[in-house]
Amino acid sequence: MIELLQYQFIQNAIYASLLISILCGLVGTYVVSRRIVFIAGGVTHASFGGIGIGYFLGIHPLWGAAVFSTMAANVMHYFTGSGKLREDSAIGILWSFGMALGIIFIFITPGTPPNLMSYLFGNLLTVSSRELLMMLALALIVVLFFLFFYRLIIAIAFDESYAKTLRLPVQFINYALMTLIALVIVITIKAAGIILVMSYLTIPQSTSNLFFNDFKRIAFGSIVISVIGSLIGLVISYFLNVPTGASVITVFVIMFLIARIVFGITNKRKQRRVVV
């Protein structure tokens, strides 16, 4: 087992697990608190359009996905926030448009069609040193943003209407967070894939929320859960030769079920003590 650590791709996968856990732990806690999971899901699938454009232009697919996803996230927020379009309609339109656009651009790209399995299902073992640097840079930006605007983020996450009455910069924070959510989703695609990326943003947070109610504790707990689940999933995928994204998400679900059982048992014991 220790011998595996000498390989560069294994080291990259471990570093990526840590950075993605930090990113998704912070951003995912906000997504769950604001109950915008389906908006994040729409952005996730819309990012496929950017991947296709990236291949067509001959640039790194993640750069194309980053630009396209950021635009899609902010357009979606604008139309839903202004009441010009229902949330489910905006999600459906951008979701389908992004996927269709990605397929078209990949189809018209000259040469052999690229292997999209790593983007659809994810593979931590294929994360490059260049992509690690991108993750590190984004992690620093996200951490600094949450530290600097923490009070504003909490106020908007739990009562946006009240935050507006206090004349807080609600729109600035909303658009900034939608941009960060889009970028985190794009970075996570490499690990979990488009199909499973939402699990990184919701399952560890839901597991942590079983035991904590405070935003900071939920975020920290989800980071720890995400790191543990990612490493276990990485080991399982390596030895069973299965996609790492699917393996990690399966571990996340098992961890959630175990935590749910433990939470239920603990709750029953507390109730019995109160009755007695």
Q: What is the rounded distance in angstroms from the CA atom of residue 17 to the CA atom of residue 236?
A: 14
Look at residue 259 and tell me if it is in a domain: yes
- Specify the range with the lowest mean pLDDT, choosing from 222-236, 238-252, 261-275: 261-275
Q: How confident is the model at residue 255 (pLDDT cuts 50, 70, 90)?
A: very high
Look at residue 135 and tell me if it is in a domain: yes
Judged by DSSP in three states, 118 sits in: helix
Phi, psi angles (nearest 5°) of residue 111: 95, -170
Per residue, what are the HEC states of 220-275? HHHHHHHHHHHHHHHHHHHHHCCCHHHHHHHHHHHHHHHHHHHHHHHHHHHHHHHH
- Specify the range with the lowest mean pLDDT, choosing from 67-71, 224-228, 251-255, 261-265: 261-265
**Chain centre to alpha carbon of residue 144:** 18
Look at residue 114 and tell me if it is in a domain: no
Number of separate helices (H) and strands (E) present in the chain = 12, 0
Q: What is the rounded distance in angstroms from the CA atom of residue 236 to the CA atom of residue 244?
A: 8
Q: How many domains does the chain have?
A: 1
Judged by DSSP in three states, 20 sits in: helix
Look at residue 36 and tell me if it is in a domain: yes
- Specify the range with the lowest mean pLDDT, choosing from 18-22, 164-168, 172-176, 185-189: 164-168
Residue type, 130: R
Look at residue 115 and tell me if it is in a domain: no
What pLDDT digit, counting tens, does each position of 59-71 carry?
Answer: 888 888 889 889 8
CA nearest to 118, candidates 272, 245, 17, 267: 245
Range of the domain at 22: 2-109+120-275
User: What pLDDT is attached to residue 1?
Assistant: 55
Look at residue 6 and tell me if it is in a domain: yes
The tokens describing 146, both together, are 């949450």
- Residue 66: other Cβ atoms inside 10 A: 22
Q: State which of 30-39, 81-90, 99-108, 187-196 shows the largest mean pLDDT.
A: 99-108
**276-269-29 Cα angle (round to 5):** 135
What pLDDT digit, counting tens, does each position of 2-15 carry?
Answer: 666 777 878 888 89
Which run of H or E residues covers position 47? helix 37-57
- Taking residues 43-50, what's their average pLDDT? 86
CB proximity list for 80: less than 8 A, separation 6 or greater = 39, 86, 87, 90
Look at residue 54 and tell me if it is in a domain: yes
Q: What is the rounded distance in angstroms from the CA atom of residue 94 to the CA atom of residue 37?
A: 15
- Taking residues 174-183, what's their average pLDDT? 91
**Backbone conformation region of residue 123, classed left if phi is above 0, alpha if psi is from -120 to 50, else beta:** beta
Residue type, 215: F
CB proximity list for 176: less than 8 A, separation 6 or greater = 145, 149
**Predicted TM-score of the model (pTM):** 0.86
- Residue 43: other Cβ atoms inside 10 A: 31
CATH of residue 255 = 1.10.3470.10
- Residue 82: other Cβ atoms inside 10 A: 8
Q: What is the rounded distance in angstroms from the CA atom of residue 158 to the CA atom of residue 79?
A: 21
Look at residue 53 and tell me if it is in a domain: yes
DSSP string, 67-109: HHHHHHHHHHHHHHHTTSS-HHHHHHHHHHHHHHHHHHHHHHS
What is the residue-averaged pLDDT of the chain?
A: 85
